[in-house]
Amino acid sequence: MTRKEFFARVGFGAATVLLPTCIAGLSTSCSSDDSNADGSSTPTPSATSNFTVDVSTGALSTNGGFIVTKGIIIARTTTGAFLAVSSMCTHEGVTLGYDKSANVFVCPRHNSLFTSTGTVISGPAPSNLKQYQTTLSGTTLTVIV
């Protein structure tokens, strides 16, 4: 057996062994694992009950700051109001950011824009974000899930 024949057989053998795994990986990555129980594609937040956040320190202590916690993005507008919407873009599930100058939520991957209440301004995001009510008592912000 020549060197060329040896490498041809080894390459073919490796391809035969690895091909089923590669195909399984492709089919898994194309499936809709982030669908909700109702069949919609809006990712569901991980928070299952109301929770609180201390706004006296960290990003939420200043106007324009934001945090992502429990699948929800909480932002403090430049006027001091608090906003809370699901943190995942409805297009591909990417974690959103907050643009304080425009008061919008932004997807860093494909630039989908959402209003402060989670309504799609521009896509490719196909649907709105879920909005959550917040209440402030002193320096404790409660997000109502």
Give the pLDDT confidence score for residue 59 in this predicted structure: 96
Residue 123 lies in a domain: yes
Same domain, 19 and 77: no
Report pLDDT digits (tens) over 129-143: 999 999 999 999 999
Domains in the chain, number: 2
> Residues 55, 24: one domain?
no
pTM summary value: 0.68
Residue 44 lies in a domain: no
- 21 and 80 both lie in a single domain: no
Higher-confidence residue of 102 and 14: namely 102
Confirm whether 21 is domain-assigned.
yes
CATH code of the domain in which 62 resides: 2.102.10.10
Q: Does 18 reside within a domain?
A: yes
| Average pLDDT score over residue span 9-30 | 49
Do 50 and 142 form a contact (C-beta atoms < 8 A)?
yes
Q: What is the pLDDT of residues 68-123, one digit of tens each?
A: 999 999 999 999 999 999 999 999 999 999 999 999 999 999 999 999 999 999 88
Same domain for 69 and 125: yes
Number of neighbours of residue 100 by Cβ within 10 angstroms: 15
Cβ count within 10 A of residue 122: 12
**Does residue 42 carry a pLDDT above 60?**
no
Instruction: Report the alpha-carbon distance of residue 25 to residue 9 in Å, rounded.
Output: 25
Spatial CA neighbour of 112 closest among 133, 75, 86, 132: 86
Q: What pLDDT shows up at residue 46?
A: 64
Task: State the residue range of the domain holding 65.
Answer: 51-144
Confidence of residue 57 (pLDDT cuts 50, 70, 90): very high
Q: Indicate whether 66 and 18 sit together in one domain.
A: no
Give yes or no: residues 15 and 66 share one domain: no
Q: Residues 105-121, buried b or exposed e (16+ Cβ, 10 A)?
A: bbbeeeebbbbbebebe
Residue 2 pLDDT? 77
The stretch 18-22 carries a mean pLDDT of 49
* Residue 142 CB partners (closer than 8 Å, separation 6+): 50, 51, 52, 134, 135, 136
Residue 38 lies in a domain: no
64 belongs to a structural domain: yes
Q: Is the pLDDT of residue 6 over 70?
A: no
Same domain, 56 and 96: yes
More confident residue, 2 or 117: 117
On the question of pLDDT at 45 being above 60, the answer is: no
